[in-house]
Structure 1
Amino acid sequence: MTIHPRPFDAEPLDPASQEAKHVQVRESLRRYLETYGDPGAAIPSERQLSEYFGVARMTVRQAIDALVAEEVLERIVGLGTFVARSKMDLHMKMTSYTEEMIRRGMVPDARVLAFEQQGASPLVARELQIEIGQPVVRFRRQLLADGEPMSVDENFIPAHRVTGILDDPPPTSLYNVLSEKYGLVMEWGEDTIEATAASPSIARLLNVELNAPLLKIQRHAYVARSMIDYSVSYYRADRYKLWVPLQRPGVRTPRAYSSKRLG
Structure 2
Amino acid sequence: MEPSAPARQPATAKRDGVRRHLLDLIEQAGPGSALPAERDLALRLGVSRPTVRAAIDDLARTGLLVRQQGRGTFTSPHKITQELSGGTTNAFAVPPAEGYWTSRVLSFRITPAGAPRATRLKLSPALPVLRIVRLRLVDEEPMAIERIDLPAALVPGLAERDMESGNFYQLLRERYDVVVADAIQTIEPTVTNPDQADLLDVPVYAPVLLIERTTRDTAGRIVEFARSIYRGDRYRITSKLRFDSSSG
TM-score by length of 2: 0.68
1:75–1:115: structure 2 CA closer, same or farther, 3 Å change rule? closer
**Are the counterparts in 2 of residues 114 and 139 from structure 1 also a CA contact under 8 Å?**
yes
**Are the counterparts in 2 of residues 43 and 82 from structure 1 also a CA contact under 8 Å?**
no
1:83–1:30: structure 2 CA closer, same or farther, 3 Å change rule? closer
Is 1:144 aligned with 2:149? no
1:207–1:56: structure 2 CA closer, same or farther, 3 Å change rule? closer
1:219–1:25: structure 2 CA closer, same or farther, 3 Å change rule? closer
Match of 2:232 among 217, 237, 240: 237
Q: Please give the secondary structure, in 2, of the residue aligned with 1:179.
A: helix
Aligned residues with identical type, % of pairs: 27
| Letter in structure 2 aligned against 1:52 | R
Match of 1:85 among 52, 60, 77: 77
Q: CA deviation at 1:31?
A: 8.9
| Letter in structure 1 aligned against 2:139 | D
Q: Please give the secondary structure, in 1, of the residue aligned with 2:196.
A: helix
1:94–1:198: structure 2 CA closer, same or farther, 3 Å change rule? farther
| 1:39-62 residue CA offsets vs partner (Å, 9 max, x unmatched) | 1745432x6324235x567xx98x
| 1:159-210 residue CA offsets vs partner (Å, 9 max, x unmatched) | 12223324x8434332111110111111111101111121222212111112
1:132–1:86: structure 2 CA closer, same or farther, 3 Å change rule? same
| Letter in structure 1 aligned against 2:184 | E
Q: CA deviation at 1:26?
A: 6.9
Task: Supply the distance in 1 between the matched residues of 2:147 and 2:195 (Cα, whole angstroms).
Answer: 14
Aligned residues: 211
CA RMSD of aligned residues (A): 3.8
| Letter in structure 1 aligned against 2:168 | L
Task: Supply the distance in 2 between the matched residues of 1:51 and 1:231 (Cα, whole angstroms).
Answer: 50
TM-score by length of 1: 0.65
Task: Supply the distance in 2 between the matched residues of 1:250 and 1:184 (Cα, whole angstroms).
Answer: 38
Equivalent residue, structure 2, for 1:130: 123
Q: CA deviation at 1:216?
A: 0.7
| Letter in structure 1 aligned against 2:221 | S
Is 1:215 aligned with 2:209? yes
**Are the counterparts in 1 of residues 64 and 233 from structure 2 also a CA contact under 8 Å?**
no
Equivalent residue, structure 1, for 2:194: 200
**Are the counterparts in 1 of residues 26 and 75 from structure 2 also a CA contact under 8 Å?**
no
Match of 2:65 among 48, 53, 74: 74
Equivalent residue, structure 2, for 1:121: 114
The gaps in structure 2 that reach 5 residues or longer are: 1-16, 85-91
The gaps in structure 1 that reach 5 residues or longer are: 1-20, 252-263
